[in-house]
Every structure is written in structure tokens, then in C-alpha cells.
A and B are shown apart, each in its own frame.
Chain A
Amino acid sequence: QSALTQPPSASGSPGQSVTISCTGTSSDVGGYNYVSWYQQHPGKAPKLMIYEVSKRPSGVPDRFSGSKSGNTASLTVSGLQAEDEADYYCSSYAGSSVVFGGGTKLTVL
């Protein structure tokens, strides 16, 4: 149950696009289409942004999209807005367990 690997930080200017990666192994990200992404603002509970690699829950803007290639999943935020500044975590099913990434702090410049 090793943590998935995310870059500690990412940034972009308003209106730009930014992509956050999440690298695992064939035992988690690469082995299942159960990758999720969560947004967490300081002092708040996480919010589900993407599940099953690329599905968006109701209410999540279509500026948020997810994808996967091999053992690496990605979250892309298009048309960056100030309120997108937050921590983002990926997670993956790993066969009878779940593993999270270490988190990426997204800064909107």
C-alpha cells in the first residue's frame, strides 16, 4: 500500500490549463479504472471532482477532466479560476485496499 506519486506543487495563471499527474503501479492505477481526484480547500473536507478515471459527479464544472495512460493518471483543470486554488489528491483502488497520492498544491498566480 505505497502512496501514489504526485508533484508537490503546480501553478497556472487565470484562464490557463494545468495538469496534475498521479503515478502508481500496475497493482493500482494501471490495474483498475478506479482512479479518483479530490479537491481540498484549507480547513475543509475533501470534495470529489473525478471518479472512475474520467467521470464527473453532478455539480463539478466540465473544466475538470481526468484521464489515464498506463500507470499514470492525470487531472486537467482548464480555464483556471481563483477558486481552483487548493490541494488535490488522487486515489486508486488497489485490490481490497485504496491508496491516495501525497497531494498537489495548486496555486493560481
Chain B
Amino acid sequence: EVQLVESGGGLVKPGGSLRLSCAASGFTFSNYSMNWVRQAPGKGLEWVSSITSRSYIYYADSVKGRFTISRDNAKNSLYLQMSSLRAEDTAVYYCARDIIAVAGTSLDYWGQGTLVTVSS
């Protein structure tokens, strides 16, 4: 059974940093593109970042230069290092797997999400 479990969310002050993790199981992690998608409270979905199986990386303009996506295939884990956090980064952050090779375009498995709150 495919499982994605996020962790690392919490309350952080504006300008602070946080590292999210996503533990994957039930599939060959190294073969898949992985993604972070967020959802602000009461709002819609927003794509954040993707990393392909070959570690090509893509970011939304809203997080470029502040967030860093990475993966550790040996640990079956996906990460999102977030810095210079702003109030508008407050959201539930989901880890999601791509069903096809074009990163971010077909997210067939999602984690339960981890809440990041940026507030003083």
C-alpha cells in the first residue's frame, strides 16, 4: 500500500525557517517524481515545488529563492526546507506522488498534510 506521511509542521515566526519531511512507503520511491502542494486555510490548492526521479527541480515563483526541495532515495524521503517564511506561507503542506513523468501534472497519491503556521 502506498503511503506518504508528512511531518515537521508547526508554528514559526515571520522570517523563520522550517523543514518538512515526507516518508514514503509501498512503492519504489526513486522511480517517481515527487511534489509539495499547499492549501491555505479555506483556500484552494497551490503547487509549490517538484523534484523528478532524476532530481530536476522546479519551484513556484512565490517560493523561489526561499524554499528548497530535496529527496533522499536511500531513506525514501522527500524534504522541503523553508526559510524567510511569511504569513502568506501559512497552509497545510501536502506531499504528493506523480503518476507520470511530467512533474506535478498527475498527483495520484497524497499524504494527510502538515500544517505550517507563520505568525508572531
Contact = CB atoms under 8 A, between A and B. Distances in A.
Contacts of A102: 44
Interface residues of B, number: 25
B106 A36 contact: yes
A104 B96 CA distance: 21
A36 B60 contact: no
Nearest to A59: B108
Contact of A51 (B45, B94, B106, B111): B106
Contacts of B32: none
B1 to A, nearest CB: 13
B50 interface: yes
B47 A98 contact: yes
Nearest to B110: A45
B97 to A, nearest CB: 10
Most buried by B among A3, A92, A100: A100
A46 interface: yes
A36 B102 contact: no
Interface string A57-88: 10000000000000000000000000000000
B92 to A, nearest CB: 9
A55 B82 CA distance: 34
Contacts of B47: 91, 97-100
A43 to B, nearest CB: 10
Contacts of A36: 105-107
A30 interface: no
B94 A45 contact: yes
A57 B105 CA distance: 13
Contact of B99 (A51, A92, A100): A51
Interface string B81-113: 000000000000010000110111111101111
B104 A93 contact: yes
Given A52-B106, A91-B45, A93-B105, A1 B61 contact: yes
Given A1-B61, A48-B106, A97-B58, 12 more contacts: A1-B60, A3-B44, A47-B110, A52-B100, A89-B44, A96-B58, A97-B47, A97-B59, A98-B104, A98-B105, A100-B47, A103-B44
